[in-house]
A and B are shown apart, each in its own frame.
Chain A
Amino acid sequence: MRLSERFYSNVFILPALIYLLIMVGYPMFENLRLSLYNVDVMNIAGTPSFIGLSNYRALLHDDIFWKSTYNTLIYTVLCIVLQFIIGFVLALLFSQKFSLAERLRGLVMISWLMPITVTGLMFKFMFSLNGGILNEILMSLHLVHQPVEWLVNPSNSMWAVIIANTWIGVPFNMILITTGLTTIPKDVYESASIDGANAMDKFFRITLPLLKPAITSLLVLGFIYTFKVFDLIVIMTNGGPVNATEMMSTFSYKLSFVEYKFSEGATVANVLFIILFLVSLGYLKLVSKEEVM
């Protein structure tokens, strides 16, 4: 009886397992295989040869690969820090009881709901050199004398895309922290007040520690979402100018579908995958630890 019960449960897992194998496992395996061959425009229909880890080795000497890795990391870290801080402040603000709090919180969600293509185009217009609204405002406030070269200067364009993505990601952070805040029982704060804790004490000794599980999952999920950025970059800068905003995802895409170096593109995608895989593993470990507690 025990055995057949186990048999049943396995059978019920089977469909999901097979689905995963076909839809997730196969592409992953194929991508790995592709990265060990030298498939490009000349031999895709013929017989590509196995070249082992040469693609990975070549990548180590590729300036643009390092640049894109560096860019992706900088972009991810700065976006997450900004989104998290602003999202946290907004969550605290809207958890106060004032009229319209609920409605305003709903309105803030708009930037998360908007298609990224639309947001990207909008920011592209706002950041444009002449006639972009941001430059117009800065100029009329006399904060700058020359229009800022947001998207056309390699040293500014990273900031432009970070600002745009922060705007997109703030509501996500806000809503998860808001949810976390509602799980903290009110009586904890009440008894703290009785013990004479001030607002600062309450925040650092109650709110933050009790929010820890929410915050860790938020940061890890945020990392994964941000690290694989693609559409926003393609719309706003397409990795430019001069690779200043080239990300691993856009670099991989360009190798595969602009230059037709399919294997090299797959190699970059695999490195991207490995990084995200490690982060996810860490996340799962964290989550399981919390659950045990």
Chain B
Amino acid sequence: MKKALTSVLMSSVLLASAVGCSSTSSEQQSAAGTAAPAASSKSEATPAASKEKKQLKLWFYFEGKERFDKIASLTQGYSKVDSSVEVVPEFIPFAEFKKRLSVGLAAQDLPDIVVIDNPDHAAYAAMGLFADITDKIKDWPDKDQFYEGPWKSATLNGKVYGIPLGSNNLALFYNKAMLDSAGVKPPQTWDELRDAAKKLSKGDIKGLGFSGLGNEEGTFQFLPWLLGAGATFDKVDSPQGVKAYSYLADLIKDQSVSKEVLNWTQADVMKQFAAGKIAMMVNGPWQIPELKTNAPDLQYGVALLPKGEKYASVLGGENLGVVNGKNVDDAVKFIKYVASPDVIKPFAQSFGYFPSRKDVATDKYWTEDPVLKVFNEEMQYAQPRGPHPKWPEISNALSSALQQTLTLSKTPEEAAKEAQTKINEVLK
């Protein structure tokens, strides 16, 4: 009998250790989530002070200590304004981010504020992740200062679910020396662009580069063409939509664009441009510091994306979303603080963002620099992706059609038609 008892004890000990393992592993994971070293040191440094303070959690996915410190400067700045609340930033890797949010939503384990990629905002608002703060910011005068594109990306069906944090967009980079030696001026229309790209292509060197990946990044790069042709994401098989696809297919057929763009990320595009393998590229302002590291002596200029039917670009950037929960009021106060001109201006400058607010955008920092002012001007043509709660599915249809076109495995008409069928399925 004694023996039996021991073995039961033994097994329960084993069992407890097994279960213990599984629960600690999830804790470890969240600790690993705050991988930026400053995260742990900071939260350790202030246990006494935070005892009476209400803690709000902020999730973001910007990598690196530098960017963490910039986010931390926002939260620390806020604790000087409001001493009753402490906002604790927590880093979640981008690859994990959406998974953590979806899983967290089902498991009711969520932060209070989320820095979110703007096309995802509507999807998560539809999931019920974000609180409707329309009434809470009704009397906030600053709300009219935002550009329409960024502001729209934080809304769903006319309701507001957050505030834009910062924006960026795409424009055309060109290699000055290469354009000069080919006797080409920076193109301003689609026809000029096609012509210029043809003249600039010689053997291994191609006139133009962009990212044609079969994912959200590819859609991001494709949208300016679609919008510039005069189409919208819900009317892809219109003559305008087909034109956008066939224009890009023509660039491939002209051999002005390498088929390799199918596998290029935007960072790859930047590296090709830095190496002088492509004369022009479609890319965003976040590549500017990288470009400097990769090719310090490269002389380049930036122009608006050439005009098709109209000027168009795509809106990138992040929004601050307020998570549905018991801390909504405090969270709204915090995001209003972050979005205020005095706070957002230095933050946007140090972060490589373009202001989502018109009043901040008039600052000389963005209007006098020859490169930044182009992106700043492009801001008014920048349209958000969606917003639609099922944007990821729409995006998938658009980028599959893009790949079919660029591989020349389907005609632009067929590809656009197939994409439209899928999109109709989503929109119905």
A contact set with B: CB distance below 8 Å: 4, 7-8, 11-12, 14-15, 18-19, 22-23, 41-42, 44-46, 124, 128-131, 149, 151-154, 237-243, 254, 257-262
How many Å from the CB of A56 to the closest CB on chain B?
19
Q: Does B143 contact A (CB under 8 A)?
A: no
Across the interface, B22 reaches (CB within 8 A) one of A22, A239, A242, namely: A22
B3 touches A8 (CB 8 A): yes
Please state if B396 and A45 are interface contacts (CB–CB under 8 Å): no
Q: Is B126 within 8 A of A42, CB to CB?
A: yes
B262 touches A18 (CB 8 A): no
Known: A4-B4, A8-B4, A258-B215. A46 touches B259 (CB 8 A): no
Give 14 pairs: A residue, B residue, CB < 8 Å, sorted on A: A7-B4, A14-B15, A45-B106, A45-B127, A46-B128, A129-B258, A152-B262, A152-B263, A240-B213, A241-B263, A241-B403, A242-B400, A254-B396, A257-B102
In the assembled complex, B389 has its CB within 8 A of some CB on chain A:
yes
In the A-B complex, the 4 residue pairs with the smallest Cβ-Cβ separation, listed nearest first, are A15-B14, A240-B214, A45-B128, A152-B259
Question: Which residue of the partner chain B has the closest CB to A236?
Answer: B263
Write out the residue numbers on chain A whose beta carbons fall within 8 Å of the beta carbon of B389: 41-42
For B7, the chain A residues whose CB sits under 8 A away are 8, 11-12
Q: Is the CB of B11 within 8 A of A11?
A: yes
Which residues does chain B contribute within 8 Å of A131, judged by CB atoms?
Answer: 204
Total interface residues on B, using CB and 8 Å? 43
Contact with B263, one of A23, A237, A261 (Cβ below 8 angstroms): A237
Instruction: Pick the contact of B262: A19, A124, A240, A254 (CB < 8 A).
Output: A240
**Residues 18-66 (chain B) with a chain A CB within 8 angstroms:** 18-19, 22
Cβ < 8 Å to A, chain B residues 84-139: 98-99, 102, 105-106, 123, 126-129
Knowing A11-B8, A11-B11, the reply to whether A42 touches B127 (Cβ < 8 A) is yes
List, in ascending order, chain A residues with CB within 8 A of B258's CB.
129-130
Contact A238 B15 (CB under 8 A): no
* Contact indicator A238/B215 (Cβ below 8 Å): yes
A45-B106, A130-B204, A152-B260 known; A243+B400 contact, CB < 8 A: yes
Contact A257 B260 (CB under 8 A): no
Q: In whole angstroms, what is the CA distance A45 to B3 when docked?
A: 49
List the B side residues contacting A41 at CB < 8 Å: 123, 126-127, 389-390, 392
> Is B181 an interface residue when CB atoms closer than 8 A count as contact?
no
Which of B106, B277, B396 is in CB contact (< 8 Å) with A130? Answer: B277
Enumerate chain A residues within 8 angstroms of B263, measured Cβ to Cβ. 124, 128, 151-152, 237, 240-241
